[in-house]
Structure formats: structure tokens, C-alpha cells
Amino acid sequence: MGIEEKAPAGFLLTTIEKVAGWSRSRSQWPVTMGLACCAIEMMAAGTPRFDMARFGLEVFRASPRHADLMIVSGRVSHKMAPVVRNIYDQMPEPKWVISMGVCASSGGMFNNYAVVQGVDHIVPVDIYLPGCPPRPEMLINAILALREQVQSSPLGVNREEAARKAEEAALAATPTHQMKGLLA
Ligand code: SF4
């Protein structure tokens, strides 16, 4: 049967990359990664009041090997930094990172020797979420914004190349605590 005869029944043209991107963006599995008070808001996002399950990602995985999303919720101490990186390295590709709250993004008010001044020093960050702490709705909004990135992610060797470039760019970027904004 030719395509002209099939056309009235309807057909859809797309690419494997688009289908895979759409599927991944709708079934993200976050790794359990609560570091400080922001983690309470992250946990609240999974409760019935905020119902993160509506978006298909209420199952926080206890093993990084089951997860593709790291939500760094809270300040990262220097003692904890190698652990965070180790967990990130154990997550299979492709993977994404949300830096939740000012402490994770820039050290926040903890400008001292004990706290990493931005988790982007140790892992590449895809979304920075401001606030102290950000509300659960803000976290859900950040996850929905991340979906747009996940959906347009390339596959295979293109993905590896894109991930390598993104990590290089993220690690070379100006640390957020050095960004002065209007104070420059
Ligand atoms: S941003 Fe605020 S709520 Fe989050 S870890 Fe820092 S102090 Fe705690």
C-alpha cells in the first residue's frame, strides 16, 4: 500500500532523538540527595499537598545507579564535596543537576572555609534555583524548566560530546559568588 492510501488514517513523522528526549523528560528519577534545610522543602514537594507525582518523578532513588537527576538541596561542606562528586559519577549518563537554594548555588550566607562556594565547582549544574529556601512549587517549576533541556538533548556520541562540553563550560564558568551583578 502506498503512502497516499495510508494518509487518510493519519501518520506521524518524528525522530528517535525527539521520542527519547520526550520519554526521558517525562520519567525522571531523582537521587536522594538532601544536604541541609532545603531538603525539607524538597521532601515537601513529594507530599500530597504539592504532589510532585503529577509530573512523574516522586520516586527518589536510594541508589545513584537508578537515578538521572541530582537535586543538590542545601549547602555543600568541603567534607561532603567528594561524596557529592562520587554519587554524581555513579549516576549513569545522561544525567542532570539542579542546584537548589542559594547555599548550593553560591555558598549563600556561609562565606567561610567550611562550605563550598557553589556546587558548580564540583559538578556541572543545569538549573540554578534561587531562594532560602525555595518553595516546593519553585522546585517543581525548576524541574519543568529542566524538561525543556532534557527534551532537546542529543543522543549517543552527540550526547557524550554535548555533556563533555557542558561540563567543561560549567566548571570553567565564573563562580556565582564572584558575580557581583549591579554591585560590580
Ligand atoms: S538556602 Fe537557606 S534553606 Fe537552603 S540550605 Fe541554605 S540556609 Fe538552608
Q: Please tell me the distance between residue 133's alpha carbon and the centre of ligand 1 in angstroms.
A: 5
- The answer to whether 100 and 139 are in contact (CB under 8 A) is yes
What's the Cα-to-Cα distance from 78 to each of 27, 45, 50, 86, rounded to whole Å? 32, 27, 32, 13
Nearest CA to ligand 1 atom 8: 37
What is this structure's pTM?
A: 0.84
Ligand 1, atom nearest to 36 Cα:
5
CA distance 138 to 32: 18
Under the banding of pLDDT at 50, 70 and 90, the label for residue 173 is confident
State yes or no: pLDDT of 166 exceeds 80: no
CA distance 161 to 120: 19
The domain limits of the chain are 16-172
16-172 has CATH 3.40.50.12280 classification: yes
Nearest CA to ligand 1 atom 5: 74
Under the banding of pLDDT at 50, 70 and 90, the label for residue 54 is confident
Cβ-proximal residues to 181 (8 Å cutoff; 6+ apart), any chain: none
3-state secondary structure (DSSP) of residue 73: strand
State yes or no: pLDDT of 171 exceeds 90: no
Sign of CA dihedral 137, 116, 112, 80: positive
Which residues does ligand 1 sit against, CB inside 6 Å?
36-38, 74-75, 101-103, 108, 132-133
State yes or no: pLDDT of 9 exceeds 80: no
Q: Please tell me the distance between residue 129's alpha carbon and the centre of ligand 1 in angstroms.
A: 11
37 is in an annotated binding site: yes
Q: Please tell me the distance between residue 95's alpha carbon and the centre of ligand 1 in angstroms.
A: 24
132 is in an annotated binding site: yes
Residue 150: its H or E element: helix 136-151
Q: What angle do CA 173, 138, 97 make, to 5 degrees?
A: 40
Averaged pLDDT, 79-104: 93
95 is in an annotated binding site: no
CA distance 45 to 31: 14
Q: Please tell me the distance between residue 37's alpha carbon and the centre of ligand 1 in angstroms.
A: 5
Query: What is the tens place of the pLDDT at every residue in 101-154?
Result: 999 998 888 888 899 988 888 888 889 999 999 999 999 999 999 998 888 888
Percent of the chain with pLDDT over 70: 91
